[in-house]
């Protein structure tokens, strides 16, 4: 379906590193790229590879305040203790300070801008930036492992470059609160987030009544899922909400955050998805990009804390779908050996998990609660799309 696909990646992206004690480990991005290489995806004839670059201060100011950027620059130079409270949300357990933090964070932001540049220039139809997806950062503060909000910066860069409308779809287990906040009053951006309900999980937001403000009312869409949401119920919620609303919005570009901390084994959350869910989402988002945006799809990574057994498989499934490739499903032994050399224990041997089944009563309750959550979102949002 796609003639050219971009991959934005270079080893400097691994410098976004909060330290060995932190769950957001950059090795997961390296292992994603190496799994793609082992499966032959980096030799695909339609692939265009680019390095990221540091976003400029002016580009960071598309979303972040000047005083916040200056604070990050100062802390980045002076940081002596990761857990000293420096203000601005930095120095907490979530966002430890580290030397070079500004440059590392600006490089992630610049990577998503490079992906946006590739789309706008027409060099590619789809662009994947696996190190991106830092969707919690706010205009004036770090939050949730995120210093600069690269998806929001890329979206604003596209708008400022003449793109009329952008649809943002976030499938991370945590609400995409920073991107929602950046565009809450902007009718040119539709934000859709499917996530574990804020009643159970950080950041405690993302409820269906968060609909957007002013002229943008109806452009903020949230599906707040219950714990134990499984493959079938998640798929039902996605199908009921995402394609119809994106198609009705008629965006020029689709931007996605592909967090895979929704997996049943993820240590930081409580959903029950499998890698087959990510293959389904990849297929659905790919088709949606071609049906609504003439293929213009910018995809970023995001959360995911099973750094060896889940993240590389999930993001490789998305990347393979972008390329129109169909790996045979087995994980190459050379990649398994590499992952073990980086610290992995027991690993699956295939891209797709064996199907799981929740205990009968737990599954029944979760499916009923997921359907109710989806219906509540649709009840509130449908009036804006039936006029």
Quick one: average pLDDT of 267-288?
Answer: 98
Quick one: average pLDDT of 3-30?
Answer: 96
Q: Which of 64, 102, 136, 195 is catalytic?
A: 136
CB neighbours of 70 closer than 8 A, spacing ≥ 6? none
Residues facing 297 on adjacent strands? 126, 254
Tens digits of residue pLDDT in 358-381: 899 998 999 999 999 999 999 999
pLDDT at position 132: 98
pLDDT at position 1: 52
Quick one: average pLDDT of 289-306?
Answer: 98
Tens digits of residue pLDDT in 121-150: 999 999 999 999 999 999 999 999 999 999
Structural domains present in the chain: 5-59+105-385 (3.40.800.20)
Pair 62, 344: CB distance under 8 Å: no
Q: Does position 312 have pLDDT exceeding 80, yes or no?
A: yes
For the question of residue 136 being annotated catalytic, the response is yes
Residue 299's pLDDT band (cuts 50, 70, 90): very high
pTM: 0.97
Q: What is the DSSP secondary-structure string of 54-116?
A: PPPHHHHTTTS-HHHHHHHHHHHHH---TTS--BTTBSSSSS---TTHHHHHHHHHHHHHHHH
Residue 387's pLDDT band (cuts 50, 70, 90): low
């Amino acid at each position: 379906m796609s003639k050219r696909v971009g991959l934005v990646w270079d080893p400097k992206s691994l410098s976004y590193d909060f330290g060995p004690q932190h769950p957001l480990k950059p090795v997961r991005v390296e292992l994603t790229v190496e799994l793609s290489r082992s499966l032959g995806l980096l030799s695909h004839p339609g692939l265009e590879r680019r390095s990221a670059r540091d976003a400029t201060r002016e580009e960071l100011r598309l979303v972040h305040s000047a005083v916040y950027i200056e604070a990050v620059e100062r802390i980045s130079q002076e940081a002596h203790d990761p857990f000293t409270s420096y203000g601005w949300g930095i120095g907490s357990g979530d966002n430890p300070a580290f030397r070079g933090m500004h440059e590392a964070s600006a490089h992630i932001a610049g990577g998503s801008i490079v992906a946006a540049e590739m789309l706008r220039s027409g060099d590619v139809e789809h662009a994947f930036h696996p190190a991106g997806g830092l969707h919690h950062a706010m205009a004036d503060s770090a939050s949730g492992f995120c210093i600069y909000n690269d998806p929001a910066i890329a979206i604003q860069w596209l708008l400022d470059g003449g793109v009329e409308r952008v649809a943002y779809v976030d499938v991370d287990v945590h609400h995409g609160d920073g991107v929602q906040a950046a565009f809450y009053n902007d009718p040119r951006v539709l934000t859709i987030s499917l996530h574990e309900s804020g009643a159970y999980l950080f950041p405690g937001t993302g409820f269906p009544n968060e609909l957007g403000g002013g002229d943008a009312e109806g452009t903020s869409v949230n599906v707040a899922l219950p714990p134990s949401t499984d493959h079938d119920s998640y798929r039902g919620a996605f199908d009921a909400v995402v394609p119809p609303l994106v198609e009705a919005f008629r965006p020029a570009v689709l931007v996605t955050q592909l967090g895979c901390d929704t997996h049943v084994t993820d240590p930081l959350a409580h959903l029950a998805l499998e890698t087959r869910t990510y293959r389904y989402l990849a297929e659905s988002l790919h088709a949606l990009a071609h049906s609504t945006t003439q293929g213009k799809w910018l995809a970023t990574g995001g959360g995911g804390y099973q750094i060896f057994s889940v993240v590389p498989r999930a993001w490789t499934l998305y990347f393979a779908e972008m390329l129109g490739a169909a790996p045979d499903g087995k994980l190459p032994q050379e990649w398994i050996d590499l992952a073990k050399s980086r610290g992995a224990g027991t690993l699956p041997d295939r891209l797709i998990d064996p199907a799981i089944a929740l205990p009968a009563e737990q599954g029944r309750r979760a499916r009923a609660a997921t359907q109710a959550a989806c219906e509540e979102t649709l009840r509130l949002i449908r009036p804006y799309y039936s006029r």
